[in-house]
Amino acid sequence: MATSAAQTRLTPEEYIAFERKAPPDSEIIRYEYLNGELIAMSGASRAHNLITGNICGELYNLLKSSGCETYMNAMRVSAPVTSSYFYPDVVVVCEEPRFEDDVFDILLNPIIVVEVLSPSTEAYDRGEKFSHYRHLTSLQEYVLVSQDKVLVERYHRPQQHETAPVTAKDWIFTAFQALEDILPLTALQCELPLQEIYERVTFPD
């Protein structure tokens, strides 16, 4: 989903209050919050929406009897160590969901986060955003999905490293570049065929 920096600095408390008061039909639907700044989340492309929907739908079907919960686009995730808030394209929680307060719209313990890359967000998703997500001790897998070519990148942290999430060296990287490939999601004990992730998606020549 495309992003742009908003010229406003707020405290975390001001950000949450601002987000919760936003009208549902506002042109800019949501804002992420990073280092005191608002990051406006604008509309997504057809490919982005298809990929996000495909992943969320497949995970829902695979996990519906497991006790896990899958959210798409609108569930805010908090990185308390860095006082930041994000809207992953897809997020999964498998233990009892923990929330920041009794509004239940800020998740604290995701096990998997998926981001669908856009030209304007790719560097942000790969770099600074991932550096904040790594502070989440619950997070075991971070998945990046390209929308203009077949490419799914998986960062997996073995469970024995859960107490040291801050650095990148503890994460194992794997890339998948063919529609025949299968994405393993070890934390969920399931697999996602890339054919399903990219169903109905067409790529530029």
Q: Rounded to whole angstroms, what are the CA distances from 56 to 104, 111, 192?
A: 20, 14, 11
5-46 residue pLDDT tens: 555 689 999 999 999 987 655 555 689 999 899 998 877 899
Question: pLDDT of 84-136, one tens digit each?
Answer: 999 999 999 999 999 999 999 999 999 999 999 998 889 999 999 999 999 99
- 3-state SS class at 137: coil
The domain limits of the chain are 46-197
At residue 182's C-alpha, the angle toward residues 176 and 186, to 5°, is 100
Distance CA(48)–CA(166), nearest Å, equals 29
Superfamily of domain 46-197: tt1808, chain A (3.90.1570.10)
Q: What percent of the chain has pLDDT over 90?
A: 76
Are the CB atoms for 190 and 161 separated by under 8 Å? no
